[in-house]
Structure 1
Amino acid sequence: MVIVSLTVQLTLIKLGSRRRFSDRNSKTVSFFLWTLYLFADWLAALTLGTLLRSRKDEVTNPRVLFWAPFLLLHLGGPDTITAYSLSDNELWPRHFFGMCFHIGVALYVYVKFWTIATPPVIFMAIPIIIVGVIKYGERVWSLFKASSVRFRKSVFSDDKGSPLEVEHSQSPSERAFHLFQVFKPMFADLKLRIYKNLSYVFELDQNKVSAEAAFTIVEIELGFLYDLLYTKIPIVITRLGVILRFICLSFITCTLLAFFVFVKLHDSRVDIAVSCLLMVGAIFLEIYSALLHLRSDWGLYWLDQQNNRFLRFIGPKLVRFTKPKEGIRSMAQHSLLDYCLPPRKLNLAAVLNLFDSEDRMGKYLHTGWKEVSFELKQFIYSGLQEKRKKYAETEFKNLSELLDDRGSSVLKGMGGSSEDILWSVREVEFTHSLLLWHVATEVVFHDDNHRYRAVQLEQYCRISKVLSDYMMYLLFLCPAMLPEGIGNIRHQDTCTEATNFALDKFQFKEAVRGLFGMDIRSRSFFIQMGNSRKSAFFEGCQIAEQLQSLVSMFQWDNQDKWKLIADLWLNMLTYAAAQCSWKEHARQLQHGEEFITHVALLMAHLGLSTKIQMVPLPKMLEEVDFEPTFHWDKLHRLTSYLA
């Protein structure tokens, strides 16, 4: 059982560093990691409990005394996952009392069986017990530091920042670390209260900071947050943490050397192999953890701050060699029509529905992934800069009006023709609006793809399709990140209407072309049929028909039409990002980074967040022409800016 526990630890340390990144396997990795996370503690506790209940005459192998402390070490868990979810951090008192109990059990087992063990085994077990206590203590301490109360208090800590300025930082890690310290209060559900004269803090000059650089900074900041909430890395990348790790590695290495010195030829080969495997496995975990620490965002920042020439020279090269390409590389895609109109194949859907009434498995299997392209980042970054410019022109007023725009400003640009479509983003709830425009985007895309084979190669067409499918993915599988509504019911009814309208994708394409040819009375009949339930299918088709008519009405080309659709989806995305709570953004990190979280944090960098309040200077200070300054090297004074 001890070997099984070691195997679980090796698997956890690998998967723990893997789950931060989103891709097509992230849900599977998350589920497998959750299973092993629970199984690891249960297995170690079960083995210790079995030894506790055993009598001396039942235990004939003296090496049990030596193996038991390794279970204590395994209960400390791997460095890459201390908490599976945020709720685990809140349960740190339970883990603390569990640590006290398990340490007591390990010591009792040690005292209970030392009469049957040889003196070398008795003394070799002591360093392993010390290492186990250190590792277990690190786990409880990291859970305590990441708990909501302690996390909020850390915002008001007296930790001093680096004397480097953000604009002149020598590395992205240093720049991102300073910005993370500034925006960390939002994840603690606190507001930033900033003088209007300091609005430059929330400016990202497009001439100096490119879209790629801006998203990279956000990626690193989220890496800091993830490690702080779910791993041991922030407490290990300290002077005390490094000293403790050196002690742990030294103790285990010395124990291994002592074992080879005192091992006897007549000892069981199996016992020798198990003992060596446990010690070599523990040493491997320590060394591999150190490499993971160095290639983490905290490790990069720590290396940048060292004055040691060896670390500054060797460290970055080691990190570049071991650190994988990170960041938001892909985003989920979910097409409602692909889900509703799949190829007719024999499947076990009927059986699965007995255990999965919401068909989450089916939704997940119909989820695709696409790369987050540079053109998408540039489009979003430019759009947010435009919003920032509008916000500054109003002297930082009417922020709520700017963030509540779901696309009405885009449609108003059409003039009088917008009245027939404006209701879809003004008079209905957000999930209804999202479904309407997703159906409309799908219908227009398929219709254009039939007419113009190369339409999917156009930039705004690609952007519109990607954003539409991503927002539908959020509605399908991450509804907590969207404003509340009856999206699940509307989705089911919309799928039913789409299935009744066309049995498969080929019939759907033919039916859509027929729908465009109907007169207004016939289309109204279908829309009323959908409204009798909660379907948005036929209303979405009507919007699609109106969008297609814009080409002839305004003598647009297809790119102008898709530009309008892309701008509307950008407003939908920013609205959802602004409405989602920051705690939900942090919670979602346990399943992998979401693109909407990157957008929300990028909006905060531009001051486009309700958690950031721009306030004027007090009159007394205005009278004396007081000019407030914001020093990045005095982040410990950040509390004076909090509301």
Structure 2
Amino acid sequence: MQVIPPPIKKILDKWNIRGLVILSLLFQTFLIFLAPLRKRTSKKLLAAVIWTSYLLADWTANYAVSQITKNQGKEAEPDDPPKNKKLLALWAPFLLLHLGGPDTITALALEDNALWARHLFGLVSQALAGVYAVVQSLENALWPSITLLFITGVLKYTERTRALYTASLDKFKDKMLKLPDSGPNYAKLMEEYDSRLASNLPMKIVLIKEPDKHERPPTLVKPDRDLTDLEIIQYGFKFFDTFKGLVVDLIFSFHERDESRDFFNKLQPEDALGIIESELGFLYESMNTKTEILHTKIGTLSRFIAFGSLLSAFVIFCRRPSKSTDFHGADVVITYTLFIVGIALDLASMVMFLFSDWTFAEWRKLKDDPEEQKSPIDSLLNWFLWFRRPRWKEHPQCKGNRTHEVLTTGFLLRRWSGTIYGFNFIGYCLKAKVSRIHQKRTYNVLSKVVWESVILMFDCVIREIQMLSERIKDGNRSLGIVIRRWSKKNSMIYYTVYPLYRVFFSGIPWIFGELWGYIDRIFSVKAHLDEIRFLSSEPLPKNQWKFIFDELKHKSEFAETPEMAKKVSSARGEWALRDTKLVEIEPLMSYVENVDYDQSLLLWHIATELCFQEEEENLSGESCDDREFSKIISDYMMYLLIMQPKLMSEVAGIGTIRFRETLAEAQRFFKGKHIKNRDMKQASETILWVQNDIEPVSVKGDRSKSVLFDASILAKELKKLGEGSDIGDGKWRVLSKVWVELLSYAASHCKATEHVAQLSRGGELLNFVWLLMAHFGLADQFQINKGDARAKLVVGES
């Protein structure tokens, strides 16, 4: 008995190579156009498509080459054209070309770069396999096209291997290391000193110090105007070349720190955002694509040779006569498709190459005099870059009393996602949908209604399944009690009904429960469902970025030495509290100084939400901004703590345990108070009604890590802060400053490699804060405070 029917098996045998070749071409097409999108969004569906295409592309090409090699050794079928196998041999170098991968993605993750040696071995083995397939088909009249395609394939595969090699962290670091500086020749200086001393010549050793930064001419001059789009890219490329050493923990000199800090102190926040946006884009391209190696002389020459070889092979194949009689018609069509699509994809790659930020920055270097008259080429490049400029739109805020400009750059033109995600603790406890502060503007009302209906339906289905599961558990528990009671009184029931109950009503549900738990642990199904149901998103408000920029700029004024910079960047709220100049902040200090960072995050997040849920009237414009900014960053930091553990791995501590125990206490509290209508305002008021005359730790001890009612005490302390101070310091100004400090602490203590890895998932506000802190000198990498003094032997009076 055959598992696969003979007719189907015959079709599979006939079309397996053809299908694999077409599939390999499809994967290449998907990757070249979809891979650039992953730096613009964090959508899981797109990431899954790219992940699948990336993994299957290599597998398909490798398997197809093995099938071609195997097919060359078989006897020809009676109905096959006389030279058809020779045409199949032409496909082997095409598959080698596909293994070279598109220019837009070389590494799916940073770890892939470390596997460059494996790809080098793959290059050699696949080239040998292709040669073997061709040798089996000799004598082959298609050898000119095959040879040219081999040149193209080897060059493409070499480019990919080089890109992985240069982006691997150890090679990336080696490439950036400067020549070792051994300092002045101490031995020679002391020999001269001894000889002159023996000759009784008067002399002295003078230390020539490096000039102070105020004595050095500035190396970067900012024009007294807003930067053009081209200048933003040029400055971004310049700082990328300097600060890419952050990825491999290199240290920077005080010259580089002062140059960057002085320049950024003169920037407008929007220009700073654009520069950092382009810097992160360059960093993404250098670590995940072929862009950097293609912008070298060798890379450019390699690409022109590869394209010329591909085009020449196509022309030679087209001019070959009698293709219709020598080869199978379908195979000729597939070959033409491989050539035409391959050439089209190469042309598309060239267009992306020519119109990339990297090309513009390399082609037009920064001018020594920024006020020099711009050339027509600069104007043309500025026109191209204008389309990629960040777009801002006004949204009504504070119940329509004010407006905010928020980032709304088009999907295909943006350089990062531009989204601030949020996760709300109380909303998650109540399974409530958290409303957005900046409501989406959509002109397609029908699509909005349909999407919200789908989400609502999905949420209802999940709730019904959970309720049904609870009812089944309750019914099963009650039934078990009754059957066990009867089985004790009646032996017949004990030997008949009770075993059936144990198998069908107890054993089978337990098996399914264990199976579901196993699946959830492997694929994190519950976490993905929670993301769909409880994750909120906000566009980046311009005022909020300005507020973050001004806060870090203000802190940088105190970071004159590496020690002071480290102290400022290590603040977790205490610096912000002392900077408010309010006398009522002393009770708040214990919530940042005497607690772990993850505990502080959860405390301030719940306290912020309790304050936010109160209806506040007559808020000033600045306080209204601070209220909404605090809410956005509060939810964002909880999202990072719970949903992005890799980004917070250095500071998270026992954040997951503390969150789970606080969640358990909150759910028990809400259940006892019969709060089941998902009313976050009522839930917040109920928490605040609880008397806090005695601290929770005095009643519960320190076994439980829950901070629910500690946060309630913090919220009540915040409410005591004055709202109408002359300097504008109220509870919302305090909260906004504390949240910026908590955000900057997380950004500076996150591994640099995790920041870079996040760029391929849409990027985060955290990445921007990390790089902005580095530009302001608020980083551990600035270890050199003063330049080395150089000794000089001076003959004269001692």
Amino acid at match of 2:177: F
Using the TM superposition, give the Cα deviation of residue 620 of structure 1 relative to its aligned residue in structure 2, in angstroms: 5.4
Q: Is the 8 A contact 1:342 1:505 kept in 2?
A: no
- 1:83-142, Cα deviation, whole Å (9 max, x unpaired): 111111111111101110001001110111234x5x1x3322221111111100000011
Superposed, which structure 2 residues align to 1:138-537 within 5 Å? 138-156=159-177, 165=220, 167=222, 171-194=231-254, 199-204=258-263, 206=265, 208-262=266-320, 264-266=323-325, 267-305=327-365, 324-327=413-416, 329-343=418-432, 345-347=460-462, 353-357=517-521, 359-365=526-532, 366-392=534-560, 397-412=563-578, 413=580, 417-448=584-615, 458-482=624-648, 483-502=651-670, 503-504=675-676, 506-521=678-693, 524=695, 528-529=699-700, 532-537=703-708
Cα distance in 2 for partners of 1:14, 1:416 equals 58
Question: 2:758: which partner in 1?
Answer: 588
Taking only aligned residues, the RMSD between alpha carbons, in angstroms, comes to 3.4
Residue 457 to residue 527, structure 1, CA distance change in 2 (3 Å): farther
Deviations, residues 215-236 of structure 1 (Å, cap 9, x unaligned):
1111111111111111101111
Aligned residue in 1 for 2:151: 130
Q: Provide the rounded CA distance (Å) in 1 between the counterparts of 2:91 and 2:335.
A: 7
- SS across alignment from 2:538: strand
Q: Note if 1:37 corresponds to 2:96.
A: no
User: Residues 315, 414 of structure 1: CA spacing in aligned structure 2 closer, same or farther, 3 A cutoff?
Assistant: closer
Aligned equivalents of 2:133, 2:581: Cα separation in 1: 78
Q: Structure 1 residues 51 and 404 mapped into 2: Cα distance closer, same or farther (>3 Å)?
A: same
What is the TM-score of this pair, normalised by structure 1?
Answer: 0.86
Unaligned runs of 5+ in 1: 159-163, 625-643
1: distance between equivalents of 2:679 and 2:415?
Answer: 42
Q: Which amino acid aligns with 2:51?
A: W
Which of the numbers 97, 106, 110 marks the counterpart of 1:82?
106
Do the aligned residues in 1 keep the contact of 2:39 with 2:416 (CA within 8 Å)? no
Deviation of the 1:305 alpha carbon: 4.9
Q: AA paired with 1:548?
A: K
Q: How does 1:510-589 map to 2 (within 5 A)?
A: 510-521=682-693, 524=695, 528-529=699-700, 532-551=703-722, 560-589=730-759
Separation in 1, partners of 2:316, 2:380: 32
Following superposition, the deviation at residue 258 of structure 1 comes to 2.9
Partner of 1:609: 779
SS in 2 for 1:398: helix
Taking the aligned partners of 1:269 and 1:614, their CA distance within structure 2 comes to 70
- Counting matched residue pairs gives 607
Distance in structure 2 (CA, Å) of the matches to 1:86 and 1:421: 41
8 Å CA contact 1:220, 1:327 repeated in 2: no
Name which of 113, 138, 141 aligns with 1:114. Answer: 138
Secondary structure in structure 1 of the residue aligned to 2:127: helix
- Distance in 2 (CA, whole Å) between partners of 1:58 and 1:362 is 54
* Conserved? CA contact 1:294–1:315, under 8 Å: no
Report SS of the residue matched to 2:420.
strand
Contact 1:328 1:595 in 2 (8 A): no
Tell me how far apart the structure 2 counterparts of residues 383 and 135 of structure 1 sit (CA, whole Å). Answer: 47
Which is higher, the Rg of structure 1 or of structure 2? Answer: 2
User: Which residue pairs with 2:479 in the alignment?
Assistant: none
3-state SS of paired residue (2:558): helix
Residues in 1 aligned to 2:53 and 2:592: alpha-carbon distance in whole angstroms: 45
Does the 8 A contact of 1:493 with 1:534 survive in 2? Answer: yes
Aligned sequence identity (%): 29
**Which residue in the other structure is 2:476 paired with?**
none
The C-alpha deviation readout for 1:433-470, integer Å capped at 9, x for no partner, is: 10111111111111236x78999992111211111111
Distance in 1 (CA, whole Å) between partners of 2:366 and 2:602 is 52
Q: Distance in 2 between matches of 1:329 and 1:360?
A: 23
Aligned AA for 2:590?
A: W
Q: Which residue of 2 aligns with 1:632?
A: none
Q: CA contact under 8 A between 1:530 and 1:536: conserved in structure 2?
A: no
- TM-score, reference length from structure 2: 0.70
> Residue 94 of structure 1 corresponds to which residue in structure 2?
118
Give the aligned partner of residue 639 of structure 1. none
CA offset at residue 278 of structure 1?
A: 0.8
Q: Per the alignment, do residues 435 and 127 of structure 1 end up closer, same or farther by CA in structure 2, a change over 3 Å counting?
A: same
- In the aligned structure 2, how far is the partner of 1:79 from the partner of 1:416? 59
484-493 or 512-521, larger mean C-alpha shift: 512-521
User: Matched residues in 2 for 1:469 and 1:589: separation?
Assistant: 21
Tell me, which stretches of 5 or more residues in structure 2 are unaligned?
1-19, 180-218, 368-374, 389-411, 433-458, 470-512
Which amino acid in structure 1 is aligned with residue 317 of structure 2? F
